[in-house]
Amino acid sequence: MLVFFRVIKFAWQDMWRNMSLSIMTLLILILMLLSVNTLFVIRVLTNTATTMVKQQIDVSIFFNSTSTPSQISSVVHYVNSFQEVATSTFMDKGQVLAKFRQHYKNNKDIISSLDQLGTNPLGATLIVQTKDPADYQKIITALNAPEYKNIVEAKTFGDTEQAIKKIDSITTQVEHFSFALTIFFGIIAFLIIFNAIRIAIYTQRVEISIKKLVGATNWFVRGPYLVESFIFSVFSVAIAYGLVLVISHFLDIYITATFGQSAFLTSYFQSNILWLVGIQFLVVLVLTMFSSLLAIRRHLKV
């Protein structure tokens, strides 16, 4: 225990005597963590936006106005039998006509044309949403069968298919970009921290030599720098997470209007605090400890 307390004492002394380097190392770690958390924010916002768009995508199946109720019922039952279907909404001819009139209520020409026809020219409609947008193609392919040719008039899948492909493409690109940027920040942070710690150790090379000459073990010499790594990790993660919460609270004012959820980012970080803080702390701890061990290695040979 005496050796352990001495190691902690030397660690605080080293940090105090090299205050400028300690502050610089801490700032680098905080900036790295803020960069990583920025990537988390981008990914969360992208995934949420993508999910919202996917939830708004559906396929409308328009039935011929001449289709009988039994024919329509058989198609509706067939579509609902797919495990991929999440929800489906059926509107009969009367409901479709009422919706059409409501939509064009300010267009007198269209309304008057409907009145002159005297009959309902519109057919029933089935609106389908699947669990995954990629499942729409399976349903559309199934409805292209010859027996449904005279029952189903049209399917609005052309534009939807392109939208799905664009969404999937954007999501994949964002994920790849976030992963590459995280690795980039990690490499830059490692190089900067390694050099900062190496400078700090270099300024104490004489003391390290004296410790070795009087019989100090390699781990006793390494100990203060490992303790410093732990201290840097604790303070950098705590400060960075506090700044993230403050910034998130500020950004929530603008994000709420888009996603319709109050305190969106703040709630995300608070609900995932253990996972986010734990992972970031372990990453920073491993990074700083590895940098310390690598930087001090050459000075242990006396």
Residue pLDDT, tens place only, 47-94: 777 777 777 777 888 888 888 888 888 888 988 888 888 888 898 888
**pLDDT given at position 11:** 67
162 vs 267 pLDDT, higher one: 267
pLDDT in the model for residue 93: 85
Q: Given a cut of 70, is residue 212 above it in pLDDT? A: no
Categorize the per-residue pLDDT at 110 as very low, low, confident or very high, splitting at 50, 70 and 90: confident
**In Å, how far are 62, 112, 114 from 101, measured between CA atoms?**
17, 10, 9
The strand pairing partners of 87, in sequence order, are: 129
> What integer best gives the mean pLDDT of the chain?
78
For 256-302, the pLDDT digits (tens) are: 776 767 788 888 888 888 888 888 899 888 888 887 777 776 655 65
**Domain layout of the chain by residue ranges:** 2-53+165-300, 65-150
Global pTM exceeds 0.85: no
Looking up tokens 């506090």 gives 242
pLDDT band at 218 (very low <50, low <70, confident <90, very high): low
User: Would the pLDDT of 243 be above 70?
Assistant: yes
The most confident of the ranges 69-78, 157-166, 211-220 is 69-78
Among 262, 59, 113, 290, smallest CA distance to 187 is for: 290
Q: What is the 3-state secondary structure (H, E, C) of the chain?
A: CHHHHHHHHHHHHHHHHCHHHHHHHHHHHHHHHHHHHHHHHHHHHHHHHHHHHHHHCCEEEEECCCCCHHHHHHHHHHHHCCCCEEEEEEECHHHHHHHHHHHCCCCHHHHHHHHHHCCCCCCCEEEEEECCHHHHHHHHHHHCCHHHCCCEEEECCHHHHHHHHHHHHHHHHHHHHHHHHHHHHHHHHHHHHHHHHHHHHHHCHHHHHHHHHCCCCHHHHHHHHHHHHHHHHHHHHHHHHHHHHHHHHHHHHHHHHHHCCCCHHHHHHHHCHHHHHHHHHHHHHHHHHHHHHHHHHHHHCC
Mean pLDDT of all residues in 235-245: 90
pLDDT at 8 exceeding the cut of 80 = no
**Sign, Cα dihedral of 233, 239, 245, 251:** negative
Q: What digits encode the pLDDT tens for the residues 13-58?
A: 777 777 777 787 788 888 888 878 887 887 788 777 777 777 777 7
- Of the two residues 95 and 188, the one the predictor is more confident about is 95
Residue 100: per-residue pLDDT: 83
Sorting pLDDT into bands at 50, 70 and 90, what band is 253? confident
Q: Is the pLDDT of residue 192 over 80?
A: no
Residue 1 scores a pLDDT above 80: no
Region 252-257: what's the mean pLDDT? 78
- Can you give the length of the chain in residues? 302
Could you say which of 3.40.50.1110, 3.40.50.300, 3.40.50.20, 3.30.70.3040 is the CATH number of the domain covering 65-150? 3.30.70.3040
